[in-house]
Amino acid sequence: MTNNYSDVMQSSNRSHSIPAGVLMRRVVPANNSCLFTSVYFALSGGEFNDTIGPALRQIIADTVAADVITYNEAFLGKPNREYCTWILNEDHWGGAIELSILSKYYGIEIVAVDTQNVRLHRFGEDKSYSQRILLIYDGIHYDPLMFEPLDNNQVIQTVFPVSNDSILEMALEIAREAKASRQYTDVQNFSLRCLVCNAGLRGNTQARSHALETGHLNFGEI
């Protein structure tokens, strides 16, 4: 697959200065592809496309399959081929592994702002990329962050120069506010229900154990 989405990203948001305005969350659907929808929204300069998940999943699967040394079982948590099948299944969520791969593929730093711990998870930080995008993460769901200028004549900004760390301080402030109002999901204790057999579960650990024991992979938060 050609790197068409990189062309979109490179042609948008070239400004290296941030005008007066507000950094805010752009809410995307709470489904198993929220990470991919959020990444595309940020890369494209604010284009919402909730059908983009399969394309980004395919990019990840192709990248992993092409490099079995880097993307080995220790890195992926499962055999390379099994992981590729797993990530192409739209019932499965993306996370740190997928963000690291997309960061490298697009040549951009991706920052996940963790609202539960008020910290930044930076993917590609050591690669000397010139630009970054920001996602906010509540323990289970991703949304993109966008900067809306106070001047209505200026467009929103979703790609930011790495040289300007003030945007990271704004992102951390959003995380602090979200934590103060408990806008996060405790992945160790949140309640889930298996959508196959209706079993009640608590946290990621029980969900994973249930999946291993039964083969059931569809869960909903309650």
State residue 195's pLDDT score: 67
pLDDT of residue 190: 53
Q: Where are the domains of the chain?
A: 4-185, 187-222
Residue 34: CB atoms within 10 A of its CB come to 23
Distance CA 147, CA 15 (A): 12
What is the CB-side half-sphere exposure of residue 38 using CA atoms within 13 A?
31
Write down the CATH number for the domain with range 4-185.
3.90.70.80
Instruction: Give Cβ neighbours of residue 63 (< 8 Å, ≥ 6 apart).
Output: 71, 101, 104, 105
Residue 205 pLDDT: 65
Top pLDDT among 18 and 116 is at 116
On the CB side of 170, how many CA atoms lie within 13 Å of its CA?
Answer: 18
Instruction: Give residue 17's identity as a one-letter amino acid code.
Output: S
Both tokens assigned to 218: 């569809």
* pLDDT tens by residue, 95-105: 999 999 999 99
Strand partners, 202: 191
Check: CB of residue 131 under 8 Å from CB of residue 160.
yes
Lowest mean pLDDT among 11-20, 76-85, 142-151: 11-20
The reported pLDDT for the residue numbered 99 is: 98
Position 151 scores a pLDDT of: 77
pTM, two decimal places:
0.76
pLDDT higher than threshold 60 for residue 184: no
Q: Which of 101, 105, 50, 114 is nearest to 75 (CA)?
A: 101
Q: Give Cα separations from 77 to 1, 50, 83, 84 (angstroms).
A: 26, 27, 8, 12
